[in-house]
Amino acid sequence: MTARALPRTSRRFTLLGAPFDGAATLGWPGSRYAPDRIRAAMRWILQRREGGQIYCLDHAALHPFPDDLLTDGGDVHTVAHDLEATLAGAAAGVRDTLAAGHTPVLLGGDDSLLYPAARGLAESTAGTVAVVHLDAHLDLLDRSEQQGAHSHSSGMRRASELPNVDLAASVQLASRHFNFPSSLSFREQAGLRNIPAAEIHRRGTEAIAEDVIAQIAAADRVLLAFDIDCVDPAHAPGAGAHEPGGLTSFQALDLVQRLAPYVDALVLTEVNPLTDLHDRTANLAAYLVAHFVVHGGSPDAAPEGALS
């Protein structure tokens, strides 16, 4: 496969909040409070802009950061007691942002929001959509008595049912430990690639990013779905579930920097202020968003070594 082309023009991004955790049927609830905490952490980063630029020490480079590079579009329509209405509201928010010519950044909320993010992107293109799914879990559960059909355990499964989502061009990253045998069967039948956290640790983020960029080359649009529990709880204690052996904060940031230029929408989920420690996880999430915007915003902002 050849790599996806870098964007030819500069992009603008819109931040959307989805303060909903009504589908967090396992683990800890509390991610409804995440959008506000991440927005607060963003202020620490944004105050470093000067003259329409920001200096990235990671690559010793100045990057454009005009005032309109990232705007806050407020919260999508959420209904605390109505999962279906909330999923529809989130999909509409993504779809409307794309229609306005901006790249959506959807802040959850629990990981059921992967599905409406994929739906909003899929409904905005006549082509195919790939999902790059960073998560400790596979989220391929079909249905269960306790979780139903839409939960934080089934977002990727529901996204796979969208008619133009291409699972063969998609990839799951940073999964670990144990999951349902039925999810393995589905993944194998669908041809969905999985790169577990152990492989990322062994091979490094640069090689993994190159693999992912080649994997998604067949798709017309790409969703980056980032569940914060892909990061080890030592680095991200404020999550809906704790799975040891995950990515370091550096690995997570490096992957986002490298993938950002090739991605058409981001959904970031499962940050949980009720289990966080001194806002460490909300702060990491804010930096993930900032690097996504800075390194995905213009053709010359891609990290050194990114494929073209």
**pTM attached to this predicted model:** 0.94
Give the pLDDT band (50/70/90) at residue 308.
Answer: very low
| 231-282 confidence digits (pLDDT tens) | 999 999 999 999 999 999 999 999 999 999 999 999 999 999 999 999 999 9
CA 128, CA 7: separation in Å to the nearest integer? 17
- 8 Å CB contact between 154 and 112: yes
Residue 307, pLDDT score: 39
Q: How far is CA 108 from CA 36, 39, 213, 227, 283, in A?
A: 10, 12, 25, 9, 15
The domain locations on the chain are: 13-301
Mean pLDDT, rounded, for 123-134: 98
- Determine whether domain 13-301 maps to CATH 3.80.30.20: no
One-letter amino acid for residue 51 of the chain: G
Phi, psi of 143 (to 5 degrees): -150, 150
How far is 212 from 53, CA to CA, in rounded Å? 29
148: pLDDT confidence band, cut at 50, 70 and 90?
A: low
The token pair at 280 is 């460490």
**What CA–CA distance (Å, rounded) separates 23 from 149?**
10
Q: DSSP class of residue 62?
A: E
Q: In this structure, are residues 76 and 16 in contact, taking their beta carbons and an 8 Å threshold?
A: yes
pLDDT of 78-115, one tens digit each?
Answer: 999 999 999 999 999 999 999 999 999 999 999 999 99
Look over the chain and give the mean of its residue pLDDT values, rounded to a whole number: 93
Percent of the chain with pLDDT over 70: 93
Q: Please check the confidence at residue 25 and state whether its pLDDT lies above 90.
A: no
Is the bond preceding 109 in cis, omega lying within 30 degrees of 0?
Answer: yes
Q: Does residue 2 surpass a pLDDT of 70?
A: no
